[in-house]
A = this chain, B = another copy of it.
Amino acid sequence: MIHKLIEKIKKTGAPIVVGLDPMLGYIPEHITAAAYAEHGETLEGAAEAVWQYNKGIVDAVCDLVPAVKPQIAMYEQFGVEGLAAFEKTVRYCHEKGLLVIGDVKRGDIGSTSEAYAVGHLGKVRVGSRLCGGFNEDFVTVNPYLGSDGVKPFMKVCKEEKKGLFVLVKTSNPSSGEFQDQSVNGKPLYELVGEKVAAWGEELMGDTYSYVGAVVGATYPEMGKALRKVMPKAFILVPGYGAQGGKGADLVHFFNADGLGAIVNSSRGIIAAYKQEKYASYGSENYAEASRQAVLDMREDIQTALRR
């Protein structure tokens, strides 16, 4: 799957992931009104609104980007109905030729981690049959429990040729509380980065590993250091746009081959119509505003990389 991701990045010229994190507050009123009219102000109604909103965005951007990253929490908040919308979104993105990174940040141990892995990336055995669950192409994984938590995911990735992004240095302000703590003279995130590199060696594609990392755009200097620690890991970079990261900050997340990083933007794209810059589209044309925001982000990153 890492091959496919690289191929698609080259084809689109856009190392960009669209974060499908549909908060209800982002969804234009004509969509929520229609969904509530049909299903009431219920979890079903919310799930329907989320799905229709996503569909519009996916249709508008699917030829421009290699991948989307639905944040499962935004679906899980609506319970089983929300998770059905998550599943439907994954399926639809696949139909439209997009790769899907499930931003699930799961992390447990042994058979429990394996259960998450088969549920999201693989197939689960039921009697004599194998059944698919959510079927993403990549997922994000939390490393706090160590190798016992990550290896079961790697096992499933190997079988299914899918991939992981392990949290190394997250984009949020308090990420340093534990991640920046100094362990034998180097920060914990670097130790985690070294582990990611070691795990990655066990599961290599041609030039990049199936085991990638998450490093926030909001910490460009740390990104620069981690790029060297994990030369063969693809880095998923959140925090661009709404969280403050800019194109120029991203340069050091990439390798000399112009690859090795993929930058996520969520709110900045899916709710672009709410920004002054794109307000002229109006909420009815929210998806076209999202398309323009992707084009602008591609330009910003390409310009930075050309320097």
Contact = CB atoms under 8 A, between A and B. Distances in A.
Interface residues of A, number: 73
Contact of A126 (B43, B171, B179): B43
Given A143-B144, A148-B175, A182-B183, 14 more contacts: A32-B127, A41-B127, A42-B126, A45-B127, A46-B131, A73-B116, A74-B112, A78-B126, A83-B83, A142-B142, A143-B178, A144-B167, A144-B178, A145-B167
**How many copies of the shown chain assemble into the complex?**
2
A24 interface: yes
A133 B73 contact: no
A132 B45 CA distance: 13
Given A42-B131, A82-B119, A188-B188, A144 B112 contact: no
A178 B142 CA distance: 12
11 contacts: A21-B112, A24-B126, A43-B131, A43-B133, A45-B127, A78-B119, A79-B134, A80-B87, A107-B107, A110-B172, A146-B179
Contacts of A148: 172-175
Contacts of A134: 79
Interface string A67-79: 0000101101111
A204 interface: no
